Amino acid sequence: MRESMELLEAARRIHGIAVNLELPDEAVLTRTGLRRTRQVLLLLLAHAADLAGESGVRVSLDPPDDFGDEGPRFQVVTPDAHLSERELRAVFLSPMLVGPTHRRLARARELVESVGGTLDVVRGAESGLTVTVDLPAPGLACW
């Protein structure tokens, strides 16, 4: 996540936007490739940067459970963002149905699903937009 943030900062995509990263101390293992995961992060952070207002963006990462049953999960929360019901349906149908503002979100959904994960979007009147990505469990079961 830090590398994705550095790349977006270097490209001046998130210039002047407050991004709060909430990361665990240890590295988080996934069954997905680093390249795909980085693409998803870049798309979601760029989308959030386009919609961020004064509240900025909050990104959190939860590691998988100790038995490998539940995979890692990350959230991108943009409190000032809004997405209509029609736009939300289009995001889950096809990136071609979505306007340029939310196309990155639709592409991220396709990438997440291509590696076996899920992407969920929650709209809230007060909380803005919360995008949750659940990646496949890494299979660390110790039994």
Q: In what order do the strands lie in the sheet with 73-78?
A: 19-22, 57-62, 73-78, 128-134, 118-124
- pLDDT-derived band at 119 (thresholds 50, 70, 90) equals very high
CA–CA gap between residue 110 and residue 42 (Å, rounded):
14
Question: For residue 64, what are its two tokens?
Answer: 């998988």
CA–CA gap between residue 117 and residue 95 (Å, rounded):
18
Percent of the chain's residues with pLDDT above 70: 90
Contact 102, 83 (CB under 8 A): yes
- pLDDT-derived band at 55 (thresholds 50, 70, 90) equals confident
Q: Over the stretch 72-82, which tens digit does the pLDDT of each residue have?
A: 889 999 988 88
Contact 78, 98 (CB under 8 A): no
pLDDT at 142 over 70: no
Calculate the average pLDDT of the chain. Answer: 83
pLDDT at 98 over 70: yes
- pLDDT-derived band at 68 (thresholds 50, 70, 90) equals low
Quick one: average pLDDT of 126-139?
Answer: 82
Quick one: average pLDDT of 65-90?
Answer: 84
The H-or-E segment that residue 10 falls in is helix 2-10
Would you state the pLDDT for residue 141? 46
Would you state the pLDDT for residue 109? 92
CA–CA gap between residue 35 and residue 29 (Å, rounded):
14
- pLDDT-derived band at 29 (thresholds 50, 70, 90) equals low
Residue 115: C-alpha distances to residues 10, 119, 120 (Å)? 28, 11, 15
